[in-house]
Amino acid sequence: MARMAGTAARAETLLGLGVVSTTPVAGGDICTSTRLRLTDGRGAIIKTRPHAPAGFFEREAEGLRWLAEAGGARTPQVLAVADDCLVLDWVEPGKPTTDLAERFGRSLAATHRAGAETFGGPRDGYIGMAPLPNRTLPSWPEFFASRRVMPYVRAAVDRGSLTIDEAATIESAMRRIHDLAGPAEPPARIHGDLWSGNLVWGADGDVWVIDPAAHGGHRETDLAMLSLFGAPHLQRILDAYDEAAPLADGWHERLALHQLHPLLVHSVLFGGTYGARAASAAKDLLAGRTA
């Protein structure tokens, strides 16, 4: 009770409104999430983490606002942000449906079409608790190899979740990145961590995206992340996206390339078999190009 009272007091200070009630929200192992009912009748959610890394919640808030500016996929409104917490509008969850999936596929395409100035972003960010280098580069293949793959290869080797031989296989794929990347596309405005846990199927008839690692990237990256861990009505999402913004030939075969990054991030954060899966994907990519 003391912790919840402290959370309510923190929200009241940031919002300038009273908190009528608090309810713990299940899920997530990075932050503690608490639903708030405010005196003006609105619902909100506050995410807290003591001793959060510098800029952790600020980068999330910036990403949500930037994605919202696209007018595509919905994001909760940022109500307040501080070093130790983030307060957002509450989104009432509903049930996944094929109609919602189709709407989301089209909305995601609109977000991507809004574009970005370059590949990367103005500041480094986070994906989960892992640092996310965003220093810009002029092409996506350069950006992907230098900012998304190789830093995590080195970190995974240091952690012991990737062997030297597995790292060498991934490095070989990165040396072929210009061949593997497919047709050049302009920078897309992407979520950057779009697995199913970061989708809220709203009771209001929209699918909302949360917890972004937003940056200027390749639009196939978001689709690859959805495909890697699965999502309700995934095929309808992909079909609707492709109808709204046709994808370049061979995009489905390139999903494995884009999945190297999340697999390596997971190998750094969680260990297990993720490093081996990344190396296996890289080996398959190389084999496909040399067959």
**Residues designated as active site:** 193
Whether the Cβ atoms of residue 17 and residue 9 lie closer than 8 Å to each other: no
* DSSP-based three-state secondary structure for 39: coil
Write out the DSSP string of 1-34: -HHHHHHHHHHHHHHSS-EEEEEEE---SSSEEE
Whether the Cβ atoms of residue 38 and residue 19 lie closer than 8 Å to each other: yes
Q: Tell me the two tokens of residue 16.
A: 């300038």
User: Strand (E) positions, 133-252?
Assistant: 188-190, 199-201, 207-209, 215-217
Residues in the chain: 291
* DSSP-based three-state secondary structure for 132: strand
